[in-house]
Structure 1
């Protein structure tokens, strides 16, 4: 179980780092303060026989860069912001690595 936890922690942190890398810069939005990028985190928990990793942010603007936004915001400002996906591509990239590392961890523990 410790090996699985370590693999999940490693892969979750790799996703966070890739999201932070993908989040800003050309062709996406420019980094202004870096607070959004710094808000991404990973949490790994053992839930019975299962290890669960959550990667996320509590930043309210997280959906806009990922999915884009067209329309008026709550202040009446109009936007036509294209999407700059950063979480989805990071998860897609980490998936095969996670599977490979989990298989290796299981083989080592047997």
Structure 2
């Protein structure tokens, strides 16, 4: 391969890389959301009563100037309390000694490993 051919190939790869990164980050977000929802489906995570809390977990991917990012989260107020527990009096004067029911923390290693694998796939895709 000549230097000019290599330069053309790398330029073509650079043009395709943002879309490949976005696809990998988006896919990781969906898998991470599923892992968190799975952890919020009973012990050792929180028990399911109505399913509303579990359904509230969303993944929102966004394009950035040089790649992508994804936020996995919930807008439900009980999220922190379920993940970390709560001991004390709430704003309504109720007393709690609630243990933590981790469901996000245990998913972090999986999400990290999945993201790394997706970025390797994105590079391989644009360089072939």
Structure 1 and Structure 2 fold alike (TM over 0.5): yes
Q: Does 1:56 align with 2:73?
A: yes
Cα RMSD (Å) of the superposition? Answer: 1.2
Higher helix share: 2
Q: Which runs of 5+ in 2 are unaligned?
A: 1-17
With over 3 angstroms needed to count, the CA separation of the structure-2 counterparts of 1:45 and 1:24, relative to structure 1, is same
Matches within 5 A, 1:5-44: 5-44=22-61
Equivalent residue for 2:63, pick from 42, 46, 49: 46
CA distance, structure 1, for counterparts of residue 119 and residue 46 of structure 2: 35
Kindly name which structure, 1 or 2, has the bigger radius of gyration based on alpha carbons.
2
Alignment CA distance shift 1:25-1:71 (3 Å) = same
Aligned residue number for residue 3 of structure 2: none
Contiguous gaps of at least 5 residues in structure 1: none
TM-score by length of 2: 0.80
Distance 1:77 1:96 in 2: 40
- SS class of match (1:51): strand
Q: Secondary structure at the match of 2:25?
A: helix
Structure 1 stretches of 4+ with a deviation exceeding 4 A read none
Does residue 68 of the first structure (1) align with residue 85 of the second (2)? yes
CA drift of 1:32 comes to: 1.2
